[in-house]
Amino acid sequence: MGNTSQQVAIVTGGGSGIGLAIAEKFTKNGIDTVIVGRDEEKLKTAKSQLGDCCHLMICDISNLGSIPALIKKVIAQFGKIDILVNNAGINMKKDFIEVTDEEFQRVITTNLCSVFAMSREVVKEMLKKGNGSIINISSMAAQYGLPRVIAYSASKTAIDGMTRAMAVELSPKGIRINAIAPGFIETDMTAKALNSDPERKQKVFARTPMGYMGKPADIGEAALFLASDAAKYITGVVLPVDGGNSIGF
């Protein structure tokens, strides 16, 4: 069992993109950080980059039945969980009428049901020590209407509602729940969504007052802040980190 004074975090999807940047901020600040994903090679590469405070666990979180065992494994190794970042997610861009029930369900299971199941199992542990911080990664797709991402929009809008519902129920018990709504951030996911669609890319820049895309590290900074004592009176918020995209004209 690990040193109980050292903070312990789980970052789902911590092997790449935004999750990797969050894990980098955490590990640089001495937080033992368990990165979770499906691709072992990706996680190993991330660990070699992040060093000794980074630990990896392989789990397909869309397999909801595997989540309780994952959390038990983290507890067996570290003794507690202080921070959970529900970051792992998938996108699917397709015309509304072309989306099958299976495709819709796949996105909802990965982006939403897993966030519920992860949070439920982690909250059981956080309640034992009476504190903790959970950060859900939302999206601009929950702030305004985006065409051709119906399942993704449904999942991220539900994340915002769940963040508020969890915050009112769990904050009195010492657990803060917040979300970050990233704007358009330079990762593989955005490259896939925008590079093949110049019109969409143009729209993104046109309504982003700062005029450029964010970096994964910008989300890392916000996550570190929300996880820290500096944010001890903040719960239930969905914080846009978006260069003004959500309020852009």
CA 54 to each of CA 11, 27, 93, 120: distance values in angstroms, whole numbers, following the listed order:
10, 6, 33, 23
Which residue lies nearer to ligand NDP by CB, 89 or 132? Answer: 89
Examine the residue annotation and report whether 152 is marked as an active-site residue of this protein.
yes
Q: What is the largest CA-CA distance in the chain?
A: 53
Using Cβ positions, the residue closest to ligand NDP within the complex turns out to be 17
Q: Comparing C-alpha atoms, which of 246, 89, 93 is closest to residue 182? A: 246
Q: How far is the CB of 63 from ligand NDP (least distance, A)?
A: 8
Which residue lies nearer to ligand NDP by CB, 113 or 127? Answer: 113
From 144, 152, 212, 233, the catalytic residue: 152
Instruction: Please tell me the distance from the alpha carbon of residue 78 to that of residue 62, in angstroms, as a whole number.
Output: 24
Contact 53, 24 (CB under 8 A): no
Which residue lies nearer to ligand NDP by CB, 36 or 75? Answer: 36
Q: How far is the CB of 114 from ligand NDP (least distance, A)?
A: 7
Q: Comparing C-alpha atoms, which of 84, 78, 241 is closest to residue 166? A: 84
Q: How far is the CB of 122 from ligand NDP (least distance, A)?
A: 15
Could you list the residues that contact ligand NDP (CB under 6 A)? Answer: 12-13, 15-19, 36-39, 42, 60-62, 87-90, 110, 137, 139, 182, 184-185, 187-190
The catalytic residue positions are: 152
